[in-house]
A and B are shown apart, each in its own frame.
Chain A
Amino acid sequence: MPVTLVDRLPLPNLKVYTAGSVSLLSIAVYYALSVTSDPNWRSNATLGRQDAMEPAGEERALPAPALGASRNVSEQFVDVLTFMMQEPLCMWTLINIAYCSLAVFGFGVQRLVFGQLRVAEAQRVKDKFWNYVFYKFIFVFGVINVQYMDEVLLWCSWFTLVGFLHLLGQLCKDRYEYLSSSPNTGGWAHVRLACLLGGILAAATALLGAAAAWGLPAGRDTFAFMAAECILVLVAVLHVAARYVLQLYEADVAGPAAYYTHLVFDSVSLVVELLHVLHMVVYSNMLVSMASLVLLMQLRHLLHELQARVRRHRLYTELATHMSRNYPMASKEEVEKNQDNCAICWEPMKEARKLPCSHLFHNSCLCQWVQQDASCPTCRRALAAAGAARPHSDAAARHPNHLFHFDGSRYVSWLPSFSVEVTRVRPEAALAGAQLDAAAAQLQLMFPQYSRHALASDLARTRSADLTLDNILEGRLPERPDMIVPEPINPSVIAPEPTPAPVPSSPALVVPSTPAPVVPSSPVPVLSSSPAPVMPSSPAPETSSSPAPIAASSPAPVAASSPAPVLVDVATVTATSAGPFASAPSGSWSPRGLYELDDSPGVRFSGTAEEREQALARRKEALLSAARRRYLDRVARVAPPPTHVSPAPQAPPH
């Protein structure tokens, strides 16, 4: 892409550029002064180069000698200016100084409103700038195909102004996102940003007026080209402003109002840009050229983006109707009974939507999540997604989870990437009849404490063995009260590495199934040195398929955690530590109290950012020094076991 090519060009910094421009200007002015100090300079100049000199100049040149040296300053100024406009070198100097002052102005605005730019912002502005330059170059020389220098100059100055507003708008957008995500920003930053937004808005409107004033006489095409750019700037800035307004009214970020605002702005800007590019392609009328190739690529990219937006919108509306039809809002009592906050945003719920698995969430939070993944965030139960009504093709059957991925950075580095996944529940996977009985029997083998009837009825409800298994593991299934004591389980079922530690044959014991994982060859029974073995050796895939011992010893509901193959399921540890080691603390995964930390739980959470940062740094320091002390103690006290490498020679036992 063009960005990477031009990114490495060495650009002088602003100071050098300004100094150079100013000195160039002063040289040019000095030259102009020295030339115009001769009262007859006009006739000299006209004799030399300006054959097309206007007659007005000739007429005015005549009375000049009569006035002689009594010319006042303003007249001299006009003279100098006229001369400089005519002399090509001076003219370029003037243009250069105009660009320079625009750059200085932009820099001033940036310092005033944004302060130091963040790295991401600077990078994005840079990307956008080069992209803009690239496409406008294509436009001027590929589409409009200008022949005369004046035209090039006019278009360049136009695009400079529009591009300047574009960049400022981009900065505003980035900064707005940053400000609204930062916890401690003063109101002034917002006020300055709002002022700048107003300024850009006014400037863009003025440019639009200019386009109408100068573009229209030059033809409708020219006007359309000029206006499209202004409209794009206007839409972008208005979008940021609308987000401000939404925020001001504390609108729900995922509510319909906010959603449709974003939708309108996104689609308007996409459509305008699409039409703009299409217009260029039609106007240039050369289907086989580099310029049209670039334009067509851009067109394709824009179409893709528009398509993605429309698809996202369709998904959204489908989901919204689907959810409101199938998952009713929870009743008042249910919300009151449910003490928990919304599991997605961790904020209290006044009203909530209830999923079939009886988990409650904020409506907007759930909406946002379901757009990504159609499943319950807590129990991962697939929600019969909106796509279920679509015809069932083979491909859909093989990939029940449809994934749409858009990688924006493939096109332009500042574009975002996102993916959308729709999960469908296939009806043929549901259990019924004899299958159901068989599944219930199988489950009862694994969970003898549940009655066959309870299992069968739950299976009939969930229609999936996996979901019932989840229900059992999370304690949502009522169990038979007379069978809480679990049966002894052969440890070899889940222990991949046989442990040398003697296996006591107490019926309620599950822990031997978790050998010391790291030092299997150690003759010392490691379990005795560290109660509540932190690491039950759970071979990755087997854990989820043979969860029997976990649930057998822990009928209590366990916090939902999605078992990952890489991870030890938190539930496993909780369950095992609750077994024979009654002294071992249960409920948390790690042996709390095994080591004393300076910062015990209950550290104050300060209200100011500075204190929090300092407290965090202190706590880190304390943790590190405590760990260091403990490590040295351990090395000094315990002779390191043979499997534990590096006998520390400098630390003899006391």
Chain B
Amino acid sequence: MAGSALRRLMAEYKQLTINPPEGIIAGPINEENFFEWEALITGPEGTCFEGGIFPAKLVFPPDYPLSPPKMQFICEMFHPNIYSDGRVCISILHAPGDDPMGYESSAERWSPVQSVEKILLSVVSMLAEPNDESGANVDAAKMWREDRDQFNKIAERLVRKTLGLPPP
């Protein structure tokens, strides 16, 4: 079980290294544990997260790719679909069995043809285009709807923080 998971992860790692999507880097920090990766995601152009480099942790289950990995940002985040502890709430990361929100059809959830690259691209899309209906962070969802300026201000602060720049 775990052997095939490992081979697949290795293949994905290789592909992500040789042909990386723009602004995305991912791989195991320490290959002693190939089931824990760190990813860097560049905030998408033209959005309030533009230019930020957001680090996230990916933890793969032993039966990957049958089950989805877990993803958690390890920097401070403020986004309607990211819990305050950094966990990402997107349907592609939900296993077909569990449905925490109770509204996703299984077609939107994890399937073994998904990959790390697709997850990360989805997360980039999510950064640009929050879904304020499934609010993992209700405060952020509310602010996104009602006070966009304030939201952008916070995002700007986070971007500067991830780049190691002092707040404006």
Q: How distant is the Cα of A474 from the Cα of B142 in the complex, in angstroms?
A: 36
B46 CB to closest chain A CB (Å) equals 5
Q: For residue B74, which residues in chain A have a CB less than 8 angstroms away from its CB? A: none
Q: How distant is the Cα of A140 from the Cα of B112 in the complex, in angstroms?
A: 49
Q: Which residue of the partner chain, among A343, A565, A603, contacts B112 with CB atoms under 8 Å? A: A343
The answer to whether A540 and B133 touch across the interface, beta carbons within 8 angstroms, is yes
The answer to whether A565 and B108 touch across the interface, beta carbons within 8 angstroms, is yes
B82-132 residues at the A interface, CB under 8 angstroms = 89-92, 95-98, 104, 106-109, 111-114, 118, 121-122, 124-126, 128-129, 131
Q: How distant is the Cα of A568 from the Cα of B23 in the complex, in angstroms?
A: 18
Q: For residue A369, which residues in chain B have a CB less than 8 angstroms away from its CB? A: 66, 111-112
Q: Which residue of the partner chain, among A419, A563, A613, contacts B31 with CB atoms under 8 Å? A: A613
A496-525 residues at the B interface, CB under 8 angstroms = 516-519
Q: Total interface residues on B, using CB and 8 Å?
A: 86
The answer to whether A623 and B32 touch across the interface, beta carbons within 8 angstroms, is no
The answer to whether A590 and B124 touch across the interface, beta carbons within 8 angstroms, is yes
The answer to whether A253 and B1 touch across the interface, beta carbons within 8 angstroms, is yes
A558-598 residues at the B interface, CB under 8 angstroms = 560-568, 570, 588-592, 594-595, 597
B64 CB to closest chain A CB (Å) equals 10
Q: Cβ of B69 < 8 Å from any Cβ of A?
A: no
The answer to whether A534 and B131 touch across the interface, beta carbons within 8 angstroms, is no
Q: How distant is the Cα of A158 from the Cα of B36 in the complex, in angstroms?
A: 41
Q: Total interface residues on A, using CB and 8 Å?
A: 88
The answer to whether B23 and A623 touch across the interface, beta carbons within 8 angstroms, is yes
Q: Cβ of A322 < 8 Å from any Cβ of B?
A: no
User: Contact flags (1/0) for A635-649 with B, using CB distance below 8 Å?
Assistant: 000000001111111
Q: How distant is the Cα of A234 from the Cα of B109 in the complex, in angstroms?
A: 41
| Residue ranges of B at the interface with A (Cβ–Cβ < 8 Å) | 1-8, 10-14, 17-23, 25, 27-35, 40, 42, 44-48, 51-53, 62-63, 65-67, 81, 89-92, 95-98, 104, 106-109, 111-114, 118, 121-122, 124-126, 128-129, 131, 133-134, 148-149, 152-153, 156-157, 159-160, 163-165, 168
Instruction: Using A540-B131, A566-B122 as known contacts, list a sample of 20 further A-B pairs with CB atoms less than 8 Å apart, ordered by residue number in A.
Output: A183-B31, A365-B4, A375-B111, A420-B97, A560-B113, A562-B108, A565-B104, A566-B134, A567-B126, A570-B118, A591-B45, A601-B18, A601-B19, A603-B20, A616-B29, A623-B25, A627-B23, A627-B51, A631-B165, A645-B156
Q: Write 11 A-B pairs (CB below 8 A) sorted by A numbering.
A: A368-B66, A372-B96, A517-B47, A517-B128, A518-B152, A562-B114, A563-B107, A591-B45, A605-B18, A609-B31, A646-B156
| Residue ranges of A at the interface with B (Cβ–Cβ < 8 Å) | 177, 180-184, 247, 253, 343-347, 365, 368-369, 372-373, 375, 377-378, 380, 401, 403, 405, 419-421, 423, 516-519, 526, 529-530, 533-535, 537-538, 540, 560-568, 570, 588-592, 594-595, 597, 599, 601-605, 609, 612-613, 615-616, 619-620, 623-624, 627-628, 630-632, 634, 643-649
